[in-house]
Structure 1
Amino acid sequence: MQICVIDRVDGKGHDVAPLQRVSSSFDVQRISPHHVHDIRPNTEVLFIRAAYFGELGEVARRLPRLRWIHISMAGTEHLPKKVFRERGIILTNSAGVLDQAIGEYVAGSVLLWSKGLLRSAHDTSQALRVHREPLSNDQLRVLVVGAGGIGTAAARMLRGMGVAHLAGARRDPAALDPVFDEYVDSNALLSHVGNFNVLVASLPSSPATANMFSSTVIAGFADPCVFVNVGRGASVDHHALARMLSKHTRSAAVLDVTEPEPLPSGHPLWGLPNLVISPHMAGDTPDRHERYALLFEANLGRFSQGEPLLNRVI
């Protein structure tokens, strides 16, 4: 079986043990995204470690024997899935690998606000000492919009911290994890968001989730509250969020994603003291490359034996 690994250009995770084991057992070609035209024409399996590699449609058309593609990320909205379906190519992703780490990021973001640490950090830079009363965890009421794998991991982390009430919104209410106390219809957010002082967005990118946190929904946020987005930036009206944060100075937001990324210079979100923006890195722990490769290695064993693959998208 001919396998091609399209590696990261920064070299991170290049020598993790699972890839070494795969290379010792199979015929593996490893190339950078800059050399995709050198992929061997008899390639049957592609492992895409270069996350947002964008030429897969063209590559697939040039590989008549290609049967399976695995990507080191959860999102697949950027991929030419129609081409894969037409060719009968299997697509698997790495959903679940980063859930725990992103859940930890959400918990830290909530505490940054509820314990007053964000305000204290600003006060420290100005040599100020202003007493405040932090919230206890049992005073937190949390709504997770996009209560799939990542949202559920965040909810479990928050539950473990003693959060009093957890509500989840997702497309299929029957799939809501028992960690949640309440189901919320994502099509009726305006009727619910004011009941929560913690709002977590972990939505995928799709036409259905675009602008879900519209200006109208954001105007209905409780004051004070914290808004954490670890999903996709396109789900949020960022100008409306900036207006809310400017008006509600006791509220805060932590954004790991924006639309676009990065935000342009002069955007109204920049410079707000009650906002933190991180560069889309909530789940990027150093061990993620080995975890991605372990999933690929496990699926390769299944593929070799003709067994169903984990995380199959197509």
Structure 2
Amino acid sequence: MASTLSEETRFEHILVLNVPFPDTHRALLEKHVKSITYIPSARTPGSVPDDVYRKVDVIYGFPGGLENWAQVPNLKFVQLDLAGADNVVRGTMWHEEQAQKVAMATTSGIHMAPISQHFILTTLALFHRLQEHIIVAQVDKRWGKDDEFGGRAFIQELKGKAVGVLGYGHIGRECARLSAAFGARVLAATSDGRKKPQGGYVGHGMGDPDGSIPEAWFSTKDDTSFRDFLSRCDVLVLALPSTGTTRHLLSATTIGYLPSHAIVVNLGRGDTIDTNALLRALDEKRLAGAALDVVEEEPLPDGHPLFGRNNVLITPHVSGRTSMYFERSIQICVENLRRLRQGEEIWNKVDFKRGY
């Protein structure tokens, strides 16, 4: 396809910010842009010189210090190195009229493999009480006894369980695919509850292209539908962005719809779960456990009551930190530059009003 692109369609100047930028990545961008400026660390106002911002028509990375349109009069496209746009588009400039002239894309899909694997890892760890076995072996340095762990009958299998996927995007679909491979049944909940094909960047052989894996779809906007969804879940995995409509979607009320034997796994954004409501449900044994890679308050303060629980696994927002991150990120950027030059729809386009 590249052979059909004319020299005239190349972008004038790309500003690469806050990402690793080896020569191999530079060579990929040079096919689509005439000149490149690279600033490896620029996250505060003034860290990018005004004259640099004024001449760019493309930004790749995190646009640190960008606060108003006067800084970037020629900007046409922003390729974030993030799967979520919420921390960027909260800025007022992205809700002004000028924003309609600029396309922005995320790297959504980049985390499909590592985060979905983390979901399987933590879910099985909870089912097998792996954390308790590790504590005995690593801390007490002894062989555990069956009666310490509830006996052999406690161990559960993912096979036959109902896995509810709340947020059926890139990560949610790969969690669904892996769950189905383990013999679980899959339920999907989205805002409208409608079956949709998968779009944007997708790794080869991953996800659920036509949305055929879930045995049923539910709407989070319909209280009856959402309650029905939650009541069926043995495992609930949250793979949601942070928006006004997703904040505390799992609240004191909605947590109460889950069966008491259910476990909750949050891989998206921490504010989708009301932490206090989650703690009460765990304390009152209205939930069997939780695996949290994200929480409302990050970092979680030392001594927080979520720590130290045998039925809660906490990781410090690391589930997506794959060594392949920036290799996939540059490929998404390059493909989107090609698509823009060809007049095609870009991958992972951000809706500034929705926030993702």
TM-score range, shorter chain: 0.7 to 0.9
Q: Hey, what's the Cα distance between the residues in 1 that align with 2:234 and 2:59?
A: 44
Structure 2 partner of 1:153: 174
The structural deviation recorded for 1:19 is: 3.3
- Determine if the alignment matches structure 1 residue 17 to structure 2 residue 29: no
Distance 1:234 1:245, change over 3 A: same
Count of aligned residue pairs for this structure pair: 305
Stretch deviating more after TM superposition (266-275 or 78-87): 78-87
Structure 2 letter corresponding to 1:68: F
Conserved in 1, the CA contact under 8 Å of 2:80 and 2:106? Answer: yes
Conserved in 2, the CA contact under 8 Å of 1:3 and 1:27? Answer: yes
The structural deviation recorded for 1:199 is: 0.8
- Determine if the alignment matches structure 1 residue 67 to structure 2 residue 76: yes
Distance 1:193 1:249, change over 3 A: closer
TM-score normalized by structure 1?
0.88
Structure 2 partner of 1:181: 215
- Equivalent residues in 2 for 1:106-255 (5 A)? 106-124=119-137, 125-126=139-140, 127=142, 128-130=144-146, 131-133=151-153, 134-163=155-184, 165-176=185-196, 177-186=211-220, 187-188=222-223, 189-248=226-285, 251-255=288-292
Q: Which runs of 4+ in 1 moved over 6 A?
A: none
Q: Hey, what's the Cα distance between the residues in 1 that align with 2:53 and 2:273?
A: 42
- Determine if the alignment matches structure 1 residue 4 to structure 2 residue 15: yes
Q: Secondary structure at the match of 1:150?
A: helix
Question: Which blocks of at least 5 consecutive residues in structure 2 are unaligned?
Answer: 1-11, 197-210, 352-356
Structure 2 letter corresponding to 1:237: D
Q: Hey, what's the Cα distance between the residues in 2 that align with 1:175 and 1:46?
A: 34
Structure 2 letter corresponding to 1:138: K
Determine which of 313, 318, 332 is the counterpart of 1:281.
318
Q: Hey, what's the Cα distance between the residues in 2 that align with 1:183 and 1:63?
A: 43
Conserved in 2, the CA contact under 8 Å of 1:210 and 1:235? Answer: yes
Q: Hey, what's the Cα distance between the residues in 2 that align with 1:119 and 1:140?
A: 22
Structure 1 letter corresponding to 2:35: D
Please tell me the root mean square deviation across aligned C-alpha atoms, in Å: 2.3
Distance 1:83 1:74, change over 3 A: farther
The structural deviation recorded for 1:4 is: 0.6
Q: Hey, what's the Cα distance between the residues in 1 that align with 2:115 and 2:27?
A: 27
Structure 1 letter corresponding to 2:145: R
Conserved in 2, the CA contact under 8 Å of 1:197 and 1:226? Answer: yes
Stretch deviating more after TM superposition (20-29 or 196-205): 20-29
Structure 1 letter corresponding to 2:194: A
TM-score normalized by structure 2?
0.78
Distance 1:249 1:207, change over 3 A: closer
Structure 2 letter corresponding to 1:7: N
Deviations 1:91-121 (Å, cap 9, x if unpaired)?
1111112123211111112111122323322
The structural deviation recorded for 1:138 is: 2.2
Structure 2 letter corresponding to 1:302: R
Distance 1:84 1:90, change over 3 A: farther
